[in-house]
Chain A
Amino acid sequence: MSILQVLDLGLAILVLAIAGWTIAARELFASVVGYVAYGLLLSIVWIRLHAPDVALTEAAIGSGVTGVLLVTTGARLRGAGGVETAAPPRLSQRLMAGALAVLVAAALAAVVLLLPEPAPTLAPEAREGLAATGLGNPVTAVLIAYRSFDTMLEKVVLVLAVVGVWSLAPDRCWAGAPAPLGRARPEGALLFLDQALVPLGILVGVHLFWVGADEPGGAFQAGAILAAMWMIVMISRLTEPPRVGARWLRLALIAGPAVFLATGLAGGGMAGGFFAYPAGFAKPIILFIEAFLVLSIAVTLPMLVAGPPRRSPQS
């Protein structure tokens, strides 16, 4: 057994232990803290699977922003006097749930162990597409060129989620601003972070977008980092969540999918196919689309965390 295998085994045990803790913990907060730790470990697992792009997305959105969403919602429930105690389910129910869980996990494990060798793969097709786009990062090429229609629809799903969250607002608050993310008093240390960490973070976000063409990174990861920076500024109360009726906000939300769709339609007219990019111009066009995707993601994620409008538009 090599050192690397021991390391992998240790990592696997740690991930499962902390995942078990997030399920077993009594309090929500303790459970979410465990979940964020678990997300960090999971992204190391993704690195071991040679998937740095996924590792970054998992760390950013899967654990970071999701964890923040859960603690923020938990704090709001508590603030509004939400009752969070309940009798645990009966032993028989837990046993049945456990049996079902073991069954499903065993079936999946069997699938994993019985995967055909060599596995079916689309890598050669992706390789062909890659040459035409002029990109170096195959994952970005798949997202924006080879399977671009999927990615565009997924952006539409994000917009729909925002619409869904906003439509839960009380009538009088419609088009108003969501509740603030932070506490009333700004703290000195937070202001320091706004001045020191946030500019650096924005730089990292732009860097990830730019290198995403050839190296791990890209629109999702860059957008998530920028979203996190905006949320840090909102937590320190230097700025507040914007009114959801604001025109710039709505334009920014739909900019990504709109530009994506428009380029795809233009490809139908000029390059001879829906979502076809003209030869030789593929890379600049892809970067152009991605720039708007970054903007939309950076705006969408904080608005999803901030929740529905809670203040009337006049206040």
Chain B
Amino acid sequence: MSLALDLFSLVAIGAGAFFFFAGTVGLLRFPDSLTRLHALTKADNLGLGLIVLGLLPRAGSLLDALRLIAIWVLVQLSGAATAQLIGRALSPRRAAE
């Protein structure tokens, strides 16, 4: 049982790390700001989400698990709102160019 859980953790954390990698590559290689924003939002949503998912079986108590989920929700909220703000600020500039 614990082996299966460990395996689950490893797969989820590995997948999360991959999304961070992909997001960074996108941030560095994509040609303009809006596409970079696209890459960034995928990375912090899914990357952190999968890492949290992978760490959940290792949480000591229910409170710890809830705290992990709360961390993810916080990053989600701020990420979504900031991406919206950045996107809004970028689009008129791009149209003007």
Do residues B74 and A189 form an inter-chain contact, with CB atoms below 8 A? no
B11 / chain A contacts, CB cutoff of 8 Å: none
**CB–CB A187/B77 < 8 A:** no
Q: Chain B residues with Cβ under 8 A from A197's Cβ?
A: 74, 77-78, 81
CA distance A200 to B75 in the complex (A): 12
Bound CA–CA A82/B56 (angstroms): 51
- Secondary structure at the B interface, as helix, strand, loop or mixed, is helix
In angstroms, Cα B73 to Cα A193, docked, is 12
Q: Point out which of B73, B81, B84, B85 has the most chain A C-beta atoms below 10 A from its C-beta.
A: B81
Residues of B in contact, count (CB < 8 Å): 11
Residues of B within 8 A of A201 (CB): 74
Q: Mark A174-195, 1 if CB is under 8 A from B, else 0.
A: 0000000000000111101100
Other-chain residue from A193, A200, A204 in contact with B81 (beta carbon distance below 8 A): A193
A196 at the interface (CB under 8 A from B): yes
Residues of B within 8 A of A200 (CB): 70, 73-74, 77
Residues of A within 8 A of B73 (CB): 200
Tell me the smallest distance from the CB of A75 to a CB of chain B, in Å.
14
* Bound: A176/B85 CA distance, A: 31
A-contact bits for B71-88, CB 8 A (1 contact / 0 none): 001100110111011001
Contact residue among A187, A196, A204 (Cβ-Cβ distance under 8 Å from B85): A187
- Residues of A within 8 A of B (CB-CB), count: 11
Which residues of chain A come closer than 8 Å to B80, judged between CB atoms? Answer: 189
How far in angstroms is the closest Cβ of chain A from B34?
16
Shortest CB–CB separation between residue A68 and chain B, in angstroms?
14
Q: Is the CB of A187 within 8 A of B78?
A: no
| A193 in contact with B88 (CB, 8 Å) | no
**Minimum C-beta distance from B11 to chain A (A):** 20
CB-based closest 7 A-B pairs? A189-B84, A189-B81, A193-B81, A197-B77, A189-B85, A196-B77, A192-B81
Residues of chain B having any CB pair with chain A under 8 Å: 70, 73-74, 77-78, 80-82, 84-85, 88
User: Interface of A with B (CB < 8 Å)?
Assistant: 187-190, 192-193, 196-197, 200-201, 204
17 contacts between A and B (CB under 8 A): A187-B88, A188-B84, A189-B80, A189-B81, A189-B82, A189-B85, A189-B88, A190-B85, A192-B81, A193-B81, A196-B77, A197-B74, A197-B77, A197-B78, A197-B81, A200-B70, A200-B77
